[in-house]
Structure 1
Amino acid sequence: MSSDLYLISEIDVIYEQDILRNQGSVKPWLDYANFKRQHGSLLEQAFVLERACTTLPRSYKLWKMYLELRTHHLRNKNAARFQSEYKKVNALFERALVLLNKMPRIWEMYLAFLCQQPLVTTTRRTFDRALRALPITQHNRIWAMYRPFANSASGETAIKIWRRYMQIHPEHVEEFIELLVEQRQYTEAVKRYMEILNNPRFRSKEAKGPFQFWTEMVELLIDHAREIQTGDEVGIDVEKIIRSGIARFADQRGILWVGLARYWINKGDYERARDVFEEGITTVMTVRDFSIVFDTYAEAEEALISIKMEEAAARSDGKTDEDADLDLDIRMMRFEQLMDRRPFLVNDVLLRQNPNNVNEWEKRVALWGDNKKEVVQTYTNAIAAIQPKKAIGRFHDLWTNYAKFYETGDDLRNARIIMEKAVKVPFKSVAELAEMWCEWAEMELRNENFDQAVSIMAKATQAPKRSTVDYFDETLSPQQRVHKSWKLWSFYVDLVESVSTLEETKKIYDRIFELRIATPQTVVNYANLLEEHQYFEESFKIYERGLDLFSYPVAFELWNLYLTKATERNIGIERLRDLFEQAVEHCPPKFARVLYSMYGALEEERGLARHAMRIYERATRAVADEDRLDMYTFYITKSASNFGIASTRAIYERAIVALPQQEACTMCIRFADMERRLGEIDRARALYGHASQFCDPRTSPAFWRKWEAFEVQHGNEDT
C-alpha cells in the first residue's frame, strides 16, 4: 500500500485527515470517493475505494460504489481478451460477499457480471450460492436472472435449473414446456402437459384453455411418436389419450381420428393406422368429420402405393420379388375397394346421425342396385331401425317399395306378407296408414286380383256401425282411426264403382254418410252416379242428405246443383217452390242473389209473372248491400218487360229510399230519365231536385251536368 502513496496529492490531505479523525465512520470515505470521482483518475478512485472497503468491509455503500466502478470500467470489454481483469473483479465480488452475502443487490451485480463471461459452471454455482444465501422472499430477484441464463446455457443445465424453478413457481410451466420441446425432451414435455390438464386450478399466463393445452400435447405425441417413451412405467398411453379426446370433443372427432392414425404411421405401424382409419370412417357422426378421415385415409394409401411402385420400378433388369408384387396388388385392390365403398360410408354417417331418415334408407337401397340380397337386408335393417313416430320422410313409401321389390320379382306371396305387416305399423299419421292400404289394393289391381283388392279395402274400412271415434284424436292409434279416412273411402268407392255393381257402390256411399265423413264432392259424385242410372229421386235425396251435413258456403253450391237438376227434371211447380223456399230460408245475403234469380226465373217460365215480381221484391231485401242496386235494376227491367214502364215507379221509389246516397242518386237519374221519356217533365225535374240533396257538385259533377242538359232541353228561363 505504501508504494501507492504517490496517488495521494496535497489536495487529498484534508480528506485523509478527516478519515484519521473519524476512523469508524463511512462518511469521510464517501466524501473522499465522491471527490475523486469528480477530480481523480480511475486509478485514484480505485485506490481510495480499495482502502475504504479494506478498512470498513461491512459497508454496503462503499462496496457497491467500488464494485460499480470496477464493473463499469470493464463494460463492453471482451471477457476472453481481458480474462485476467475479469478474474480480479470476480475476486473482488467474492471478497464483498464474505460479509455482505445477505445483500441481494450485490448478488445481482455479481451474477450480471458473471453472465458476461463464458463461465457457465461458475455462474450456475454462483446462482445456487445466491439462492442458498438469501431468504426465500428475495429469491424472485435471483430467479429473474437465473431463468434467462438457463435458457442461454440450454442443454441439460437449463432443464435441471428449470426443474428446480418449477418446484416453487409451477405457474411458469408453459415456458418450461417450450424449453423442453426446444431441447427435444418430448417425454417430459408431455408429462408437464398432463400435470397442467390434471390441475383444474391452473391459470395460463398466455390465456390458454385446457383444450388448447390438450391439443398441443396431442400434436407433440403425434409429431414425435418415435422419440416419446410410452407405456405403463412412463404413464403415457397415447391411444388412450387421443381416444378420450374423441369421446369428449365431438366437434373435433375427424381431426383426432386422423391424428391417432398419423401417430401409428409415424411409429411405422401401418396396419394399426389402417385399423384406426377404418374405425374412424365407420364411427364418425358428421359428413365433415367423415370427409377429413376418408380423404386422409385415401392420401395415406396412395402415398404407400406410390412408394411400393417406386420400389417395384427400381427392381429392373428382370429381377422379380413375388412377395413385394403381391403386396402391391393387394394394396391396389384394397384402395379400389375403399373408393367404391365411399358412397355407402357417407350413407352410413347420415344414418348414424338419424336412423329414422327414410330418404337415406331409400338412397342406400338404390346404391345396392341389382344386388337383391343386400337390397332385402337394407329394407330389413331400415324397418328395424326406424321408429314410426319419429320417421323423417314418407315411411309408408319404404314399405311400399319393399313390397314392390318382391312384386317386380313375381313373388306376390312375399309382397302380400310385407303389405300385411305394413298396415299394422303405428305410423305417424292416419294418412300414411290409409296410403298403405290403398297401395296394397293397387298392387292387387295391377295383378288383376279385383276381388282381392275389394276385400282388402273392406278390411281397411271395417268399423263399428256407429263409430264415435274422432279422426283427429292423437291419443288413438292410426289403426283405430283409419276407418274415418276420407282418402281410404274415396279409393274404396272408386274401386267398387269400377269393378262391382251399383248396389255395392250405393252401400259404400251410404256407409260414408253414416260415418259423417262425406265431402261435398262425395255428395255430387253419389248424386251423379244415381242420375246416370236414372235414379233421379234417389239422386235428389242425396243432395238433401248433403244439405243436412253442410252449411253455407258449401250448401250454396249444393243448392245450386240440386235446384238446377230439379228444374231440368220438370217436377211439379209446387214441389219446386217448396225447394226454393227452403233454399232461400236460411241463405246468407252474400249468396241470396243467385238463388232468388233462379227462383224468379222459374216463376216467369212455369208460374205467374206476379209471383216472380214478388220474389224479386223479396230479393231486394234479402241480398247483400253490394248486390242491392243490381237487384233493383234487374227487378225494374223484369217489371217493365212484364207490366210496362209505368209499373216501375213504385219500385224506383222503394229503391231510392232503401239504397245508400250514392246509389240512390244513380237510381234518381234513371227514374227521371224514365219520366222524361213518358213526358212527365215536372216529375223528372222533381226527381233531379230530390237527388241534388245528396249530390255535392265537387264530388258528383256528372249529375249536375246531366241536370243542366235536361233543363236546357226542357226548361225555361226560370228553371
Structure 2
Amino acid sequence: MSRANEGQVKNRSAAPIQISAEQIIREAADRQEPHILDPVTKVHDAEEYQSYLSSRRKHFEDNIRYRREHIGNWVKYARFEEENKEYERSRSVFERALEVEHRSAELWLRYAEFEMRNEFVNRARNVLDRGVQILPRVDFLWYKYAYMEEMVGDAEKCREVFERWMNWCPDEGAWLSYARFEVRCAKSIATKDGGKQQPILDMATEVMKRYVNEYPCAKSFLKLGKWAEHEAKDISLARTVYESALVELEPEEARQARVFKQFSAFEERQGEYQRARVIYQHAIKLLRLGERSKSIGDKDEEISSNEKYRRDELYKAYVAFEKKHGQKDGIENVILTKQRAEYNKRVESDPNDYDAWFEYAKLEEDHGDTAAVREVYERAISNVPPAQEKQYWKRYIYLWIYYAIYEELEIGDMDRATKVYDACLEIIPHAQFSFAKIWVQAAKLHVRKRDLDAARKLLGKAIGLCGKEKIFIEYISLELTLGEIDRCRALYNNYLKAMPHNCKAWSRYADLERSVGETDRCRALYELAVSQQALDMPEVLWKGYIDFEIEEGEGDMARGLYERLLERTGHVKVWISFAQFEGTEIGRGVKDARDIFDRAYNRLKEDGLKEERVLLLDAWRVFEKTKGDTAGVSSVEAKMPRRIKKKRMQVDEESGAEIGWEEYFDYHFPDDEGAASNLKILDMAAKWKQAQDAESSDDSDSDSD
C-alpha cells in the first residue's frame, strides 16, 4: 500500500464516540503547564539583607554588561535601588545610563519622575533643565518641567520655562498650554481677591497673539478666534481675528472653507445674521460653490479631498442658515446655487450634453447676470462636436443661435451678436456640410442693423459655400421686399442653374414675372420649365402653367397644354381636370366635356385601370348632376360598376412562400367583355335566393295555421 493513501479516511460515517468542543477546551486547559512564580526571598537579619542586595545588584550588573545599550535594564536597576531606599545608588545608576545614552528622552523622563516621586524638587528641576537643554525638541520634557513648576506653586519659574520653550518655536499645543496656564494664573489671582472681579486675561491673550504671529496660518487664526470667544469672552477680539484672517493670510490659506464656516458660525452665535449671510455669500462667490472650481483662463486649482468635503459642508451650513434665518430671496438664491451645482456636474461629466447646456443657459438668463450668462454660453460653445458629421452638429448650432439672440434681444448689443454669428460661421466645416439657418439668421441681423450691403455680401457668400434652397428663397425674399426686381431675376437665374429640376423655383420665378405684369416672360419661363428633362414635381409645374393660361383667358392655350400633358401622362386626375375645364365659361361646353370624359373612360378601359375608371365615373356623375341633364346622369350610372368581395392568396415578395388568404374588392363593369355573362349568373343566383326565402316564409305561415 502506498504512503499517499495512508492519510485518507476510509470510513466517513460518524464515530461511535463523539467529542464535543467543551471537552476539547477542557483538555487543552488541563494540559497547560503551570505558571512558574518567582521564589520569595525571606530576609531574617541585616547580613542576609546585604547578601540579597549584593546578589540582585550582581544580576543587574550582569544584565547591563550583557546589553549595555538597553535602557530597560538601567531603569529596572534604578527602580530596584529606589525601592530599597538607596536613592544615591539609584541616582548613580541613572547618571551611568545617561553616560551611555544621553539622547534618550525616556531615560531623562524616568530620572525626573524618580526625583519627583521622592520629593527632591530641586534635583528634579536640575534633571529636567539638563534634559531640555540637551533635547529641546522633545515636547513631553517641557510639559513635565512646566507641570512640575506649576504643581509646586512657582508660577514665575513656570512662566520662565514656557518662555524658554517658546524660543524654540514649538507646535500649537505648547502655545495653547502656555495660554491655558496664564488663564489658570489669572483665575487663581481673581479667586484670592474674593472672586468678585473677572480674571484679567491680558497675558494669555498676548501669548495667543504671539502664537499667531509665529505661525501665520488659517489654523492658528481659527484657534485664536475660538479661544477669544470661548475662553477670553472677548467678542470684539474674536471678530477682529476672523477679519484679519481673511485679509492678512495668503490666498491659499484665506480661501479655505473652514475659515468662512467658523467666521459665519461665530456671527450667527452672536445674532449678527446679516453679517453671517454676507460672509456665506462672499465664500460662495469666492470659492464658486455650486459652480466650476475654476473660471475660464485660470490656472488649475488643486483641491484636496478634505478641502472638497469642507466646502460641501460649508454649502450645507449656508443652506441650513437660510432655512432658519433667511427670507424668500435668500432661499431662492440657495436653490439657484444648488441647481447650478447640478448643471455643472452634468456638463462636467459629459461636455457634449447640449440639452444640459440649454437648460443651464436658460437658468442663468432667468436669474443670473449678464456676465454669468455669457460665461455659460462661452463654455458651451467651446465644446465642439468630436466628429465632423452633421448629425452631431445639429444641436450644437442652436447654442450659437440662442447666444446671438440673447445678445441682440436681452442685452441689445447687436455688434456682439454679429461677432457671435461670424465666429459660428468660421467654426463650421463648410467643405463637409453647412447650415442654412445660420447664414439666414446672420443676414437678417445685418438687415435689422440697416446694413444691406453686409447682408447681401453674406448671402452671396452663403450661396457659394452652402448653396441650399433656403438661402436662395430668403435672399430673393429680401430683394423682393426692397423692390429690387432685377436682383431677384439674377438670383432666380442662379437658383435655376444650381437646381434646374426644382419645380417650385420655376413656379416662383414665373409668379414673380406675372406679378410685375410680364406675361410673355412668364409664359416663356413655363415653356422652358416644362421642356426640362428631369423635374421633381412636374404636376405642380403643369398645373401652375394651365392655371396661368386660364386666368389670362387663353382657353385655346390651356386646351393645348392639356393635350400636351395627356401625351406625357394618362393620369385620371388630368382627364377629370380637362373635362371640368371644358365645362367652364372659357371652355367649349358640356358636349366637349362629355367627349373628354368618354375618351378618358375608353383610355382607362384599354389600360385595365378599374379603380381609376371608378374615380372618373364618380367625377363624371357629379359633373352631369351640376351642369348636365337627367339623360346624361342615367347614361353615366349605367356604366357604374358593381363591387364584389373576393379572396386571393398572399405571397411573400422575398421568399415567394404563401402567407395566407386576404379579402379585396373587385369591380365588374357592365360594358366589359365577359362581364355580362357573369352578371347574369349573379342575377340568377340572387333571384333563386329570394325565391328560397319566400318559400321558407310560406311554409312557416302554413305550419302556424
Which of the five TM-score ranges fits, normalised by the shorter chain?
0.3 to 0.5
Q: Greater helix share, 1 or 2?
A: 1
- Given the two structures, how large is their TM-score scaled by the length of structure 2? 0.43
- Higher normalized contact order (CA 8 Å, seq sep 6+, divided by chain length): 1
